[in-house]
Amino acid sequence: MTDTVIEIRGLQNRFGSHVVHDGLDLDVYRGEILGVVGGSGTGKSVLLRTIAGLNKPSAGSVRLLGTNMQSATEAELDAVSDRIGVMFQDGALFSSLTVLENVEVPLKTIPDLRKETREDLARLKISLSGLPWNAGDKYPAELSGGMRKRAGLARALALDPEIAFLDEPTAGLDPIGAAAFDEVIRDLSRTLGLTVFLVTHDLDTIYAVCDRVAVLAEKRVLVTGSVASMAEVDHPWVREYFLGPRARAARGTIDARPAKG
């Protein structure tokens, strides 16, 4: 039986007179990598922030890891927040802290955790993100864009989350850096059983790592399914996105990769 870790029903997000989502439904299953795509202004990042409890919806319900986020107490919300990790698009690192210190920030919420243990755990997360061993001692300004994103990922993984929310993790990266980041995401999901809610516009990432795709359009989730099934969806935006030249190029790149044995 499939374990649903995120259940959204009738979600509405409104900012003043501007309605971003209206009647949005979505299920996310444990252990999958779900890619969330949509045109500009469809509210991909707003949806991520709403699920993670960073934005209060105007109507509807969000159930995250069994907790109703609209009726939960502060203690229940705190308990859920310890079970998720969020990586924002820009990394959102503290510029005055080293990478190690940035990753330690969530770990400081654990009572009675010794400083040495906290540092060891932080260095482990930095290693899992694919950063070199000495990256922990550097400041964000000393890192490349790709390394800052990995540092943001390391911090999101600090508390061993069950779900990782990643907002445009490969945006602004060169193709080699983006492909390397894709591999890290895929490996983490497979080895740790991590559920990944991945907001992206990167077709290479979608074809490389996503188990399913959710398309945002018309203020709701228009369709969900495998990447391959998107080619059968009779909707102008979906057809242009998944059957256009960039999609064909991305699909060809993935198909051309040698199988791992």
Give the predicted TM-score (pTM) of the model: 0.91
**Which pLDDT value is given to residue 260?**
45
Digit-coded pLDDT (tens) for 126-140: 999 989 888 999 999
**Which pLDDT value is given to residue 256?**
52
172: confidence class by pLDDT, cuts 50, 70, 90? confident
Rounded to a whole number of angstroms, the CA Rg of the chain reads 18
pLDDT at 222 over 90: yes
Question: Is 84 within 8 Å of 164 (Cβ atoms)?
Answer: yes
Alpha helices (runs of H) in the chain, residue ranges in sequence order: 44-51, 74-81, 99-107, 115-128, 145-156, 175-192, 203-209, 236-243, 245-256
Digit-coded pLDDT (tens) for 133-164: 889 999 999 998 889 999 999 999 999 999 99
261: confidence class by pLDDT, cuts 50, 70, 90? very low
244: confidence class by pLDDT, cuts 50, 70, 90? confident
**Which pLDDT value is given to residue 198?**
97
State how far the Cα of 84 lies from the Cα of 18, in Å rounded to an integer.
29
Domain boundaries, the chain: 4-256
From 181, 204, 174, 191, select the one nearest 35 (Cα to Cα). Answer: 204
3-class SS of residue 185: helix
Average model confidence (pLDDT) across the chain: 91
State how far the Cα of 244 lies from the Cα of 222, in Å rounded to an integer.
19
CATH class of 4-256: alpha beta
pLDDT at 79 over 70: yes
State how far the Cα of 12 lies from the Cα of 133, in Å rounded to an integer.
44
Distances (CA, A) of 166 to 153, 200, 220, 221: 8, 8, 20, 18
- Residues 220-232, mean pLDDT to the nearest whole number: 95
**Which pLDDT value is given to residue 89?**
77
